[in-house]
Amino acid sequence: MIFKKAKEITNKLTLDEKIGMIHGAELFQTAGVPRLGIPPLKMSDGPRGIRQEFLPDRWENIGNSDDYVTYLPSGSALAATWNRELAEKMGSVLGEEARGRGKDVILAPSVNIKRSPLCGRNFEYFSEDPYLTAEMAVPYIRGIQKWDVAACVKHFAANNQETERLWVDVEIDEEVLRNIYLPAFYEAIHRGGSYTIMGAYNQIYGEHCCQSDFLLNQILRKEWGYDGVVISDWGAVHDTVKAANSQLDIEMSVTNDFDDYFMANPLKKKVETGEVQEKVIDEKVTRIIALMLRLHMLDGKRKSGTYNTPEHRQVTLEVARESIVLLKNEKNLLPLHKDNLHKVLVIGENANRIHSCGGGSAEVKALYEITPLMGLKTHLGGNVQMDYVPGYCSGKKVQDANWQEASLENGGGITSSVIEKKEAVKELGRLRKEAVSQAKKNYDAVIYVGGLSFDQDSEGNDRIDMKLPHGQDKLISELLDVRQDMIIVLIGGSAVEMNHWIDKASSLVWMYYAGMEGGNALADVVLGRVNPSGKLPETFYKTHKDCSAHCLGEFPGGKKVGYKEGMYVGYRYADKYNIEPQFPFGYGLSYTNFMLDKIEINDTEHTFSCSITNTGNLAGATVVMLYKSREDSELEKELTRFEKIYLEPGERKRVSFTLGTDERADYEVRGLSEP
């Protein structure tokens, strides 16, 4: 029905009008056809909230006060909740805010697999595991699209690094591609129903993804039967004829020579000379109009949205709380009890730093961002003396305003390391000494908040190793020498090295970029108002050299990158080859204890069930994860089902999973006790 109507409308359009609809006419929108009431298609980044408004033809923030928005937790934070319901709620906030800001397509979610901990965009991505990624993406997309806004699942496909991202050619076994890197896209389309998909910058098998016959024609359209709209990443198209004849529908880019885009005037010329048939343009336009019909853009029946509501902020708080992962609590120092606190020292730049305003296209002009320092101060109130020293400093606090204009330079991205200048080293030494001498004073608690920032976790940039920047290893180590009970909180988009001090530390909390309410959520966990229930959605290696992309395959490679590790990505490798990670995939502690028993596996019915009991004194949640092994696979195990379970003290629940016929049930007990 929709396509019939879309085709009728397409038939009324001139070649110029059709071409106007299939390429950017502004940095974030196509041209409409006013004579027929067809509006332009308006797009916006991104996964952490609706990005600020830019001038139509320059990467310059308009600077109005009306584009501040709800800043949502990053993809990794959401995945650490292992909570599908929260994924739906978060998507719904994004969709409603996108509508509120008048957008048609929201360029999210980012579902690429975390192949190496060093990828600069890992913070946007959900996980190293395809199943967990898909389970987060599907409800998130449904949440967005409830609001008559299209999700744009990205970046299709195998865009797992930033270094040379515009050109790098991914050499990957097809079976690996299909089993590890494509499933989240498949599910996003089939179960999530994503109306649009974004082609990636990189190449696969020597073809750029946005004009790839293999990816777009063979897999996406023919095999998967996708009838949604394929949008290019910004500047990812390289050839008029190839792009036109591939199943790409819209070309977007970062430059303002809109009429010269490959699918603009150059395409018109190719149609006129007969090198490209007008029919292929009609097909693209028909899909775009079908999208507009799906979104009720043409019938006056479209939902309206809104942004910055208290309800939206509440969702960010709920996600942030559940995303925090308790990694170590050896002496049960956590939670801190407010009544015992009179003097508290907070150390570390991340306690006082905001993260919404960087990271590349996932930047957000946040209505506000509660830092950890603010969260702790507001929770502890005026009777507690709160002192703060930075301990280290990073320098840059805002993202370069025009980074995107230059984003097609240097192959689109580099690998960078933090090299401190002489002056900075001196300053770091001074800050360290100041922090250590302060920590020796008579504080009831010392809380360190460090980690990474968008200086490392950013589009166009991969890390060179997993080391904490700005002398933090030495700082943490010296601080632990004077305060063995220091609570360590690390913030980042992916794992960091901890070897230098981990054995000395007794309490460690991990937090991904957790949105505008992150500081409140952290205070809730540290002060025991919330029982932590986050679980790592990725392996925390001891060093990046333990990660299969580095020790078996290549990362970041050169002009080509070999995914020689094959299927052994993340825990699939660590488990098979007994690599002991710092913290494994799925790990995360609680302030209470859980017991798992009464396991029943029914091979005929293909069911697995077990009981889970909260044996402690506090209400809490945990995740029951089921891993499968397959007859035909050499992999030890792969995540196949999971369920997050909430239990009051003493409460017991039965959990049941039905498996596929080719799956053999197995079970892992992680972070839980068996009777």
Binding site for ligand NOJ (CB under 6 A): 45-46, 107, 154-155, 233-234, 361
Residue 128: CB minimum distance to ligand NOJ, A = 19
Q: Is the peptide bond before 39 cis (omega within 30 degrees of 0)?
A: no
**Closest to ligand NOJ by CB, 456 or 472:** 456
Tokens at 366, concatenated: 């946040």
Scanning the structure block, which residue is given the tokens 């309410």? Answer: 517
Nearest to ligand NOJ of 210, 317 (CB atom): 210
* 187, 137 contact by CB (below 8 A): yes
CB 230 within 8 A of CB 245: no
Query: 369: closest CA among 515, 490, 525, 510?
Result: 515
- Nearer residue to ligand NOJ within complex by CB, 228 or 620: 228
Query: Alpha-carbon torsion 521, 525, 529, 533, what sign?
Result: positive
* Sign of the alpha-carbon torsion through 515, 520, 523, 529: negative
CA 30-33-34 angle, 5° bins: 120
The residue (of 202 and 472) whose beta carbon lies closer to ligand NOJ is 202
For ligand NOJ, the closer of residues 154 and 550 by Cβ is 154
Query: What is the residue whose two structure tokens read 């853009």?
Result: 297
Cα first-last separation, the chain: 58
CA separation for the pair 421, 158 (Å, rounded):
36
Which whole-number Å values give the CA distances from 639 to 103, 125, 172, 628, in the listed order? 36, 18, 22, 6
How long is the chain?
675
> What residues are paired with 600 via a beta bridge?
609
Q: Is 272 helix (H, G, I), strand (E, B) or coil?
A: helix
Tokens of 109: 């979610």
- State which residue has the least CB distance to ligand NOJ: 361
Q: What are phi and psi of 571, to 5 degrees?
A: -65, -20
Closest CB 234 distance from ligand NOJ, rounded Å: 4
Please, which residue, 152 or 176, has the CB nearer to ligand NOJ?
A: 152
Q: Round to whole Å and give the CA distance between 186 and 194.
A: 10
DSSP tag of 452: -
Cβ at position 10, least distance to ligand NOJ in Å: 27
Residue number, 234 or 501, with CB nearest to ligand NOJ:
234
CA atoms within 13 A on the CB side of 258: 18
CB of 422 to ligand NOJ, least distance (A): 35
Min separation Cβ 294 and ligand NOJ, Å: 21
Minimum distance, C-beta of residue 162 to ligand NOJ, in the bound complex (Å): 9
Q: Tokens 């052994």 identify what position?
A: 568
Question: In terms of Cα–Cα distance, which of 617, 614, 663, 608 is closest to 637?
Answer: 663
- For ligand NOJ, the closer of residues 262 and 642 by Cβ is 262
Nearer to ligand NOJ, 245 or 361 (CB): 361
Residues 6+ apart with CB under 8 A from 200: 112, 154, 155, 156, 157, 158, 159, 209, 210, 233, 236
- Measure Cα distances from 312 to 64, 98, 619 in Å: 21, 12, 25
Nearest 5°: phi and psi at 28?
Answer: -130, 20
Smallest distance, ligand NOJ to C-beta of residue 464, A? 21
Question: Minimum distance from CB of 159 to ligand NOJ (Å)?
Answer: 8
Sign of CA dihedral 239, 245, 246, 249: positive
Distance, CA of 101 to CA of 306 (rounded, Å): 7
- Structure-token match 């992962």, residue found: 325
Active site residue 455: no
Cα–Cα distance between 587 and 538 in angstroms, integer? 9
Residue among 46 and 469 whose Cβ is closer to ligand NOJ:
46
Nearer to ligand NOJ, 107 or 374 (CB): 107
Tell me the closest approach of the beta carbon of residue 107 to ligand NOJ, in angstroms: 4
- Angle, CA of 303, 140 and 294, to the nearest 5°: 40
Task: State in angstroms the smallest separation of the CB of 415 from ligand NOJ.
Answer: 17
* Per-position b or e across 100-121, b if 16+ CB within 10 A of its CB: bbebbbbbbbbbbbbbbbbbbb
Structural Rg of the chain based on CA atoms: 25
Q: Is the four-CA dihedral 397, 27, 141, 629 of positive or negative sign?
A: negative
Residue 46 Cβ vs ligand NOJ, minimum distance, rounded to whole Å: 6
The one catalytic residue among 45, 233, 462, 575: 233
What is each CA distance from 218 to 226, 286, 495, 579, in whole angstroms?
Answer: 11, 20, 36, 38
Compare residues 82 and 195 and give the one whose CB is closer to ligand NOJ: 195
Query: What residues are annotated to the active site?
Result: 233
